[in-house]
Amino acid sequence: MAFSSTRRDFLQQVGMASLVSLGVTPPRFLARAAENSASTSADGRVLVMIQLAGGNDGLNTLIPHGDDAYYRARPGIAIPKNQVLRINDRLGLHPRLNGLRELYDEGKLAIVQGVGYPTPDRSHFRSMDIWQSAQPQNENPRDGWLGRGLEWQLDREPAKAEGLTLGTDKLPLAFVSGRISVPTLRRLEDFQLVDGKGPESLRKLKRETLDRMVDLSSQDSASGGELDFLRRATATAFRNADRLKSLSTKYQPAAEYPDTGLASRLKLIAQMIVAELPARMYFVSLDGFDTHAQQEGGHAALLGELGGAIRAFEQDLAGHGASQRVMLSTFSEFGRRVSENGSLGTDHGAASMLFTMIPGNAGISENAGTPGKAGLFGTHPSLTNLDDGDLTYSTDFRSVYASLLRWLEIPAEPVLGPGFSPLEFA
């Protein structure tokens, strides 16, 4: 079939210009967001996952200050009792986690203890594959647990089968799927029309090219098929760019975010949630937790960044009336050894702990049998009954994932397999 001159012109113009940094076809959730009727409802549920990359030291995060074995094992790096943000007579938080302590006191934070999986692996790459695929038995996983969750959603409510990774160029395994392509975005400004830099005459020429593309993309076509799809994708890209540009320039946070990388990414997620963009799952990463040497200062800074960012994120959402829609959870590939090493650091371990920010104000419970409550869940592992120097797990991480999936109203078994009951914070 011969191209019409209009079709040829349109395709040539598309080929000449970089529509968006994410490619010619915009992410599906941004495409639908350009249509008013396709935005998610104001009560749509959202999950945010924060990866603590490198293996977070759970014992210096949730500190067993009431156990003398902790201080015997870590004479150089243990957090002094008088600095611990006490939760009870046994446990407390690192002093840089005051933001999370405030959330805990407000009934908005669940702390899950002793999280791990059978036959733990101390390799960063293998253990991260296990956590992100939720398939410890699979040596070469081909998809991730969030990707499988999106696939389940795609078969039932396609408009909700959306996710986004922020702050990285590489799609995490957690989102890998054979049926859904999840975009990655370093920052909001990356998704924008490119009208060039340089002399005013050159920028004007490029602007005229883009204007011509807008005109061509809005014309009706009798040819159907791929051309119509490309026209729609192009028109959507322009609408998306305008909408997201408006987000970045007009959004007024309801909280003051710290000047950190994680805080900036969570602020962007808050913008998208408040704007009711229909992504249901977000993934961000905070790197640097492989603390083999001189752990104290670096780990404290990371925990400060984590706690400050999450606290501001929750306050921002609450100020915009959106906190009831959002659950956030941290995870890390493994914990650290109980005993410090000779470099005042900690080596790769096994079981650890994680945080989950829960919606609303449910109050605090110290047992896992109270539905919808914040507080402590699981059993803190023994510091003396160890497995080759490592903490033993009491809560399979897939039970935590089952809880997060229940929040998203996605059944756990198609995603995780049978046998993983959710905890009662969701």
Tens digit of each residue's pLDDT (9 = 90 or more) over 171-197: 999 999 999 888 888 765 555 544 444
Angle (deg, nearest 10), helices 261-274 and 225-250: 110
At 408, the pLDDT band (50, 70, 90 cuts) reads very high
How many Å apart are CA 326 and CA 259, to the nearest integer? 22
pLDDT (tens digit per residue) in 344-396: 999 999 999 999 999 865 444 444 334 457 899 999 999 999 999 999 999 99
How many alpha carbons lie under 13 Å from residue 211 in its C-beta half-sphere?
6
Residue recorded with tokens 């959507």? 236
End-to-end CA distance of the chain: 56
pLDDT higher than 90, residue 310: yes
Dig out the tokens for 120 from the structure: 């733990």
Least confident of 39-48, 97-106, 320-329: 39-48
How many Å apart are CA 119 and CA 22, to the nearest integer? 39
DSSP-derived letter for residue 66 is T
Architecture in CATH for domain 42-192+258-416? 3-Layer(aba) Sandwich (3.40)
Residue-level pLDDT at 277:
81
Q: Which residues pair with 286 in a beta bridge?
A: 52
What are the extents of the domains in the chain?
A: 42-192+258-416
Residue-level pLDDT at 181:
86
Q: Are 144 and 132 in contact (CB under 8 A)?
A: yes
Mean pLDDT over residues 19-35, rounded?
45
pLDDT higher than 80, residue 115: yes
**What is 355-396 written as a DSSP string?**
EEE-SS---EESSTTSTT-EEEES-PPPSSS-BTTBPPPSEE
**Comparing C-alpha atoms, which of 413, 406, 148, 409 is closest to residue 423?**
406
DSSP-derived letter for residue 336 is B
